[in-house]
Structure 1
Amino acid sequence: MTEQPPKTNETLLSRRRLLGGVAAAGAAAAIAPPAVAAAGPAAHRREAAPTGTYRIDMHVHFLPPEYRASLLAHGHFTIGGYPTPDWSPESAIDFMDRYGIQAQALSVSDPGVEFLSGTEAAEMARYCNTYAADLFTQYPTRFGGLAVLPMHDIPTALRELEYALDTLHLDGVVLLSAYDGAYLGDPRFEPLMLALNARSAYVFVHPAAIPADAKPELPLPDFLEEFTFDTTRAATLLIAGGTLARYPSIRFQLAHAGGTLPFLAHRIGIASQTPLGDIWPAGTPKPSILDVAKHINNFYYDTALSPAPSAMRSVLAVGQKERIVFGSDWPFSATTLTGSGDPQPELSETFSAGDRVLIERENALRELPRLASVLD
């Protein structure tokens, strides 16, 4: 990456540093929903889900042919421990039709284009973004798209951001939780955050695979646990590093119900008022309980692999249902979604039918006006 600040103790918020700190501290058109009040959780009861093809999928991936071929050529036979799947527009539409999904906001998953370097990474980002935009023309009411950026070089990433949003008219951006061990709250990403804020951009934060030397050796694939932890680290450092305070117009969506962030919300808020505050990174603002609560409330949370009451009620305890969006995590969830019907029936254990329309459709379209305009 070019034009980076030096990796000092004051500027680098790294995986290893965070892990060490934690260890130390631990010493509707087609919709016909019933007329149900949308006030609170449908406590311990399951209501019939709305019917029709109405869902907007905000956590869903695509692997254009050249991108997938390049992944395999560079040894990425699995993503987060899951075999690298096949993908095509036709298979995506078949999936959507079987599960009542009207449109998908496509994004690439981990590792983004970061398995490449220099010009190759920039060219692959342009290829993926152009491929997504071409789908708008071929299937205007079925696909949206989030731009992938070549994050190893921030000036190049800024140029791709401008092209993707101004020329290709993509709906937002996908960022990984960390790049080269530095999380999104790191100062090296400040120019990008400034540009995203100026555009009031919608940004989907997707977890990245953890380097082997920064995680315990467990016989489990990363997507089961480590992905959720990395989402939590990114969100925490966006708060602790002051990014959210400086750039309030960026709309951040956290994958998988925010990982473990809802559970840790209070703990994170009191951290700066405990002995941990004495070793807080120099030059980094110490968040107060109120600051943390406000920022956690303002995140968007998706339901991908997290529709159960244990996850959704945790989100509602710290967030708001107007900022929960539907996500299928397809095609990486393909082995669990092989039939048809309601893709996440567990949502009805927490939400009314009216709330489900809000979460599975209306919240997404409010945030993606280009996609909303073609679906009206």
Structure 2
Amino acid sequence: MAPASGGMLGRRDVLAAFAATVVAGAIKSAPARDAESRPQRIDVHHHLSPPAYIAAANANNFGEGPMKSWTVGKSLDDMDKAGVATALLSITTPGVNFTSREPARTLSRECNEYAAKLIADHPGRFGSFAMVPLTDIDGALREIEYALDTLKADGIGLLTSYDDKWLGHPSFLPVMEELNRRKALVYTHPTTANCCVNLVKTLQPVMIEFGTDTTRTIADIIFSGNALKFRDIRWIFSHAGGTMPMLLDRFVRNPFLDPNAKPAVPDGTLAELRRFYYDTAQTSNKAAMSALSAIVPVSQIVFGTDFPYRTSIDHVNALRDCGVFSDAQLADIERGNALKLLPRLAA
């Protein structure tokens, strides 16, 4: 009996010790789990639709269902499901490209003030990239001043093109000079150039033209000399830079083929591409992320979701499933890199 009893007591001791270890481990790891469960991510590509913008869309017959049915509650719910602490709000295409002059100024102001109210009403949850009527230089300069100085917007949101003028166009130089003077963060969102609306009857422009227009404006900013001249503008390009990664050889060889392009890239085209930031919206897949991260360091990639057209959790899961990044790199993409651009969000 003694050996049996001793054996049973030994098992009990082992089980008790194991249970104590499990409990202690659970208690010890609870703060870590809590830290992981707290919202940490920063989404730089998240759209809002102020009432004034929805009204304008309805009156002018543009816009899709997700844009017109947006609410702040839907944004917050999507963010909470994916651990997004802060979303940087912006107006999607066409911005104010469908109108001009005073109506464009008025709509820009109303949308920017609405975003500022959301930031005030939901501390820590939102930031904003203010919309400006870029083709109206005086109006754009006035709205940049108001948005950044009075509303305290985090940056300026621009479309990739305006009336078939891309962001390197000389007509935009006064705005670029001001953005550079302010060391502004400038987020860009693609649109469809006038040349290519309904170009292929079987395809929606968003399918191909958005990536293409992003590529056009990146090239125009670089080879117009704006990237070199305005070194203090901090650019974010949507959708992993569009088709740029697939056209890298063309970008790199352009100065050799066109002597006029050489002065714009004294350190080579690749050096300019690596200074820009690129978001993950609609491109959180192995092919796109592999291509982008082969060109730019992970420090230049920021988390974007394109809500309400896609969900935040789509991108969280896809970035992990693509197998391109380590856990530490994912943490930088989803938060750390954006904090370098927006240090106020650290609080």
Q: Which is richer in helix?
A: 2
Residue deviations 1:80-137 (CA, integer Å, cap 9, x gap):
xx76431111111111111111110000011111212211110110001111111121
Match of 1:55 among 38, 41, 44: 41
Residue 313 of structure 1 aligns to a residue whose secondary structure is helix
Amino acid at match of 2:344: R
Aligned-residue Cα RMSD (Å) equals 2.2
8 Å contact 2:82–2:316 — kept in the other structure? no
Extract unaligned runs of 5+ from structure 1: 1-29, 34-49
TM-score (norm 1): 0.79
Match of 2:284 in 1: 307
Amino acid at match of 1:222: P
Is the deviation greater in 309-318 or in 170-179?
Answer: 309-318
Residue deviations 1:15-45 (CA, integer Å, cap 9, x gap):
xxxxxxxxxxxxxxx9959xxxxxxxxxxxx
Alpha-carbon separation, structure 2, partners of 1:327 and 1:356: 13
Amino acid at match of 1:123: T
Amino acid at match of 2:112: N
Alpha-carbon separation, structure 2, partners of 1:51 and 1:289: 46
Match of 2:128 in 1: 145
Task: Answer 1 or 2: higher relative contact order, Cα 8 Å, separation at least 6.
Answer: 1
Deviation at 1:343, TM superposition (A): 3.5
Alpha-carbon separation, structure 1, partners of 2:31 and 2:135: 44
Q: Is residue 2:214 matched to residue 1:242?
A: no
8 Å contact 1:56–1:360 — kept in the other structure? yes
Deviation at 1:213, TM superposition (A): 5.2
Match of 1:263 in 2: 246
Match of 2:255 in 1: 272
Match of 1:158 in 2: 141
Q: Is residue 2:347 matched to residue 1:355?
A: no
Residue 278 of structure 2 aligns to a residue whose secondary structure is strand
Deviation at 1:368, TM superposition (A): 1.4
- Label 1:240 to 1:360 Cα distance change in 2 as closer, same or farther (>3 A): same
Amino acid at match of 1:357: A
Match of 2:339 among 350, 361, 365: 365
Deviation at 1:285, TM superposition (A): 5.4
Deviation at 1:266, TM superposition (A): 2.6
8 Å contact 1:171–1:371 — kept in the other structure? no
8 Å contact 1:85–1:331 — kept in the other structure? no
- Label 1:159 to 1:271 Cα distance change in 2 as closer, same or farther (>3 A): same
8 Å contact 1:299–1:323 — kept in the other structure? yes
- Label 1:221 to 1:87 Cα distance change in 2 as closer, same or farther (>3 A): same
Match of 1:70 among 41, 51, 56: 56
Extract unaligned runs of 5+ from structure 2: 1-29
Is the deviation greater in 258-267 or in 363-372?
Answer: 363-372
Deviation at 1:344, TM superposition (A): 3.0
Alpha-carbon separation, structure 2, partners of 1:331 and 1:341: 12
Residue deviations 1:140-164 (CA, integer Å, cap 9, x gap):
1110001100112111100110110
Is the deviation greater in 216-225 or in 298-307?
Answer: 216-225
Larger radius of gyration: 2
Residue 68 of structure 2 aligns to a residue whose secondary structure is coil
Residue deviations 1:250-274 (CA, integer Å, cap 9, x gap):
0100100000112222321212312
1:1-376 aligned at under 5 Å gives the runs 52-78=38-64, 84-211=67-194, 216-274=199-257, 277=258, 287-288=264-265, 290-333=267-310, 337=311, 343-348=315-320, 349-372=323-346, 376=347
Identity %: 39
Alpha-carbon separation, structure 2, partners of 1:352 and 1:106: 28
- Label 1:74 to 1:253 Cα distance change in 2 as closer, same or farther (>3 A): same
Runs of 4+ in 1 over 4 A off after TM superposition: 30-33, 212-215, 284-289
- Label 1:120 to 1:105 Cα distance change in 2 as closer, same or farther (>3 A): same
Alpha-carbon separation, structure 1, partners of 2:309 and 2:203: 16
TM-score (norm 2): 0.85
- Label 1:58 to 1:213 Cα distance change in 2 as closer, same or farther (>3 A): closer
